[in-house]
Amino acid sequence: MSEASPPRPLVSIVVPCRNEADYIRPLLDSILANDYPRARLEVLVVDGLSDDGTRAVVADYARRYPMIHVLDNPKRTTPHALNLGITRARGAIIMRMDAHAVYPPNYVADLVDWLERTGADYVGGAWVTLPADGTPTARAIAAVLAHPFGIGDSRYRLGTNEVREVETLPFGCFRRELFERVGLFDEELARDQDEEFSFRVVRAGGRILLVPGVVSSYYARRSLRQLGRMFYQYGLFKPLVALKIGRIMTLRQVVPAAFVLSVLLTVLAAPWVAAARVLGVVVVGTYLALTGVCAVALGWRHGGRVALAAAAVFPVLHVCYGCGFLRGAWALLARSRGAFDLSSTPLSR
């Protein structure tokens, strides 16, 4: 008689959320539909004092499924939610999931297998960006967030057919001992905390792997205002992350800020310096030409109305990110850490 297989490791899924009433049911349903044995799963939904009905939905699931638990996050920030969940988690493996996404049935089991098979410190999969609704703007936002001109060479957004060693991943599957070795998430970073954490992992000699065949579906923001606010916040925290880790992690992080700064400087100098007027026309003209070409390319796949919307989405994304980056850099120069306080903003991305 063959020996019984050892039980799968206990996996603790940590979900930071606040005001996700439109998305929390599909998320929890996708977790419940996973192939991983339920007896070896716990789900910790860390709620930042939601006031849109999210809490009632999660509480109902928790009553029906003992594996689901609700934790309070009075600080209402993502890193505090993550740290609360990690501290409370019982699993040998800890997995972060976003409330704005849904996950395929193989997601948990395959990431655990990759973690065990490769010996990496944490692994993650790519995501497919979906529109929040059927409007041309929402469809354009989703398309731009999956386009290299929109988000650069961010591999988890573009997908992969092979195992890739990367510098960071937004949602990971971690070994518990990793947090004992490098510490928890930095709670000063209301945004971009995953990037700073990833740097500590790599600096400690760890490996972060983007793996194929594990793809989640992420719902993008539905309006230009929501998109602009989100990317402004991403840009705002990038200089603080750079200060903490001692360097800029990738060139794509500074390109939007360099574009915005070059436009501002040429506009300010244009009344007195002829070369500034020429340079300003070249910079803006080149950007608009690239935006037009990329928008037309998206139009071939998604239709003319999406192409028109994309022509607005690209500059909103880049300019808001760039302005956020410049404000963050100025705040550090002025020693104004208060500029980074986003405790009253939504947790979700």
Question: pLDDT tens digits, residue range 268-281?
Answer: 998 898 898 999 99
Q: Model confidence at 346, in pLDDT bands (50, 70, 90)?
A: low
Q: What is the mean pLDDT of residues 240-245?
A: 90
- What's this model's pTM, rounded to 2 decimal places? 0.90
Asked whether residue 261 carries a pLDDT value surpassing 90, the answer given is yes
* Position with higher pLDDT, 199 vs 44: 44
| Best CA proximity match to 208, nearest among 230, 244, 178, 231 | 178
Contact 82, 53 (CB under 8 A): no
The per-residue b/e assignment along 144-182, b for 16 or more CB within 10 angstroms, e otherwise, is bbbbebbbbebebbeebeeeeebebbbbbbbbbebbeeb
**Start-end of H helices in the chain:** 24-32, 54-64, 78-88, 107-118, 136-144, 148-151, 155-158, 176-182, 193-203, 224-245, 255-269, 274-302, 304-333
Find out whether 125 and 155 touch, Cβ atoms under 8 Å. no
Residues 289-296: contacts with CB within 8 Å, 24+ apart? 290/149, 291/149, 291/315, 294/147, 294/149, 294/150
Average pLDDT for the chain: 90
pLDDT at 127 over 90: no
Q: Which of 6-10, 179-183, 318-322 has the lowest mean pLDDT?
A: 6-10
Question: Domains in the chain, please, with CATH?
Answer: 11-222 (3.90.550.10), 251-340 (no CATH)
